[in-house]
Amino acid sequence: MKKALVFLICFFTILTLAVLIYTIFKDDEKIYEEKKILFRIKDVKSPKQILWYKGELFLVIENHIKKFCLEKRKVEFFAEIEENHILGEYTNELVYIEYENHVIESPEEYATYISIFDLTKGNTLFSREYHETIKPMYIEENFLFLIDNYFNSPNRTYRINLESGDIEKYDVEQIKIEGTESIRILKDNRTFEIPLVNKIQDISIDKEKDRVALIDTQGSIWIYLED
């Protein structure tokens, strides 16, 4: 009788602990396959930009750059940033792209001024004016990709060769996202299968490691790791 009572006490204690652990972590982390982890960053929502750089995730929130530390699972302040600045990676350095759009009265006038600065030292790495009214999106290899940035614009996309400064219209290769309850992401001959229900509005893929950051339509940030 005593053994049965001890067994029941142990059983219900373990069950209670299991329920508590599940309640605490169910919205934070899901380990759904060996060495594959999906979890949500709880500290922040709705960043303007997300960017992987050397295995670390950088977030642009209002006029602040914050860095998410994977080991601590903590968001830390990194630097200030202006409203018209966008984060990027160029020449293996973390940079910010500054842009200014101007009202013009003739096609000969320059409508946009773009420059790229080293984030830590502040050195100017690129500077040029363009006739198009455009806004930077991201840097990939030696190209800066941009989009039209004026009222009722047709959302054309461009790319600037950062060596020559030449600009051209360019059909940007979109990251393909397939599925609903389980999404399939295809980018640069890499495929990620991630069991996420919410629809995705932005994505960043670490080019060095199998890590993906996602922003869903609720503004939540999800991290997928595949080590």
Determine, yes or no, domain membership for 137: yes
User: Which stretches within the chain are classed as H helix?
Assistant: 2-25
169, 193, 213 — which closes off a domain?
169
Q: Is the pLDDT of residue 191 over 50?
A: yes
In a domain, 54, yes or no: no
Closest C-alpha among 222, 225, 178, 182 to residue 206: 225
The residue with greater pLDDT, 19 or 198, is 198
Q: Give the C-alpha separation, 141 to 161, whole Å.
A: 10
Within a domain: 207: yes
Residue 196 has pLDDT above 80, yes or no: no
**CA dihedral sign of residues 57, 91, 203, 185:** negative
If asked whether residues 164 and 89 sit together in one domain, one would say yes
Q: Find the domain containing 111 and state its range.
A: 84-169
Instruction: Compute CA distances 102 → 40, 144, 166, whole Å.
Output: 39, 20, 20
Q: What is the mean pLDDT of the chain?
A: 82
Residues 94 and 161 in one domain: yes
In a domain, 220, yes or no: yes
Whether residues 148 and 95 share a domain: the answer is yes
Task: Give me the sign of the Cα torsion angle 222, 53, 117, 174.
Answer: negative
Together in a domain, 152 and 192: no
Residue 110 has pLDDT above 90, yes or no: yes
- By the 8 A CB rule, do 194 and 182 touch? yes
**pTM, whole model, 2 decimals?**
0.79
Tell me whether residue 6 is in a domain.
Answer: no
Q: How many domains does the chain have?
A: 2
**Residue 195: phi, psi to the nearest 5?**
-80, 80
Residue entry with tokens 């972590």: 25
CATH number, domain of 114, equals 2.40.10
Q: pLDDT confidence of 82, banded at 50, 70, 90? A: very high
